[in-house]
Amino acid sequence: MSIFRNLNIKYMNREQLINRAKEIFKKISNLTYVSLFLASGFAVGYYSHEMKSHLKTSEFDHVRTVKNTSAAVNESGELLILDRISGDYSIYSDSVGKMIFDIYASRLYYQTK
């Protein structure tokens, strides 16, 4: 390697030997830093891609139309939103179900008035 060129320890005095060791150490440490940065960049890129592929999609990514969904409130007041095409459903807490039911009931009440 080029970092070990002209390394005749017999003919060097102490200061030259220390300076030469410092140069060699500096070159090796620079190579180590570059390789560590490359490896850490690769690891960050790899694991960020892995984590993005495992993320769940949000329920709010798409708009549900009346034609494709049904809504119901069960006996405990929980709101169920059913997808007619796939058969999947989501259950929301009783406070959400009661609020939606009250809004729907008041709208029907005012339409008949």
What integer is the mean pLDDT of 57-77?
A: 77
Identify which has the larger pLDDT, 65 or 9.
65
- Classify residue 61: in a domain, yes or no: no
Euclidean distance between CA atoms 21 and 3, whole angstroms? 10
* Same structural domain, 8 and 48: yes
| 11 DSSP assignment | G
pTM, full prediction:
0.39
pLDDT at 40: 94
- Which domain covers residue 74, as residue numbers? 69-112
Closest CA to 72 of 101, 99, 36, 32: 101
What whole-number distance in Å separates Cα of residue 47 and Cα of residue 49? Answer: 5
Q: Are residues 45 and 80 in the same domain?
A: no
* pLDDT above 60 (res 21): yes
Average pLDDT of the segment spanning 82-96: 85
Per-residue pLDDT, 59: 63
Amino acid 16 reads Q
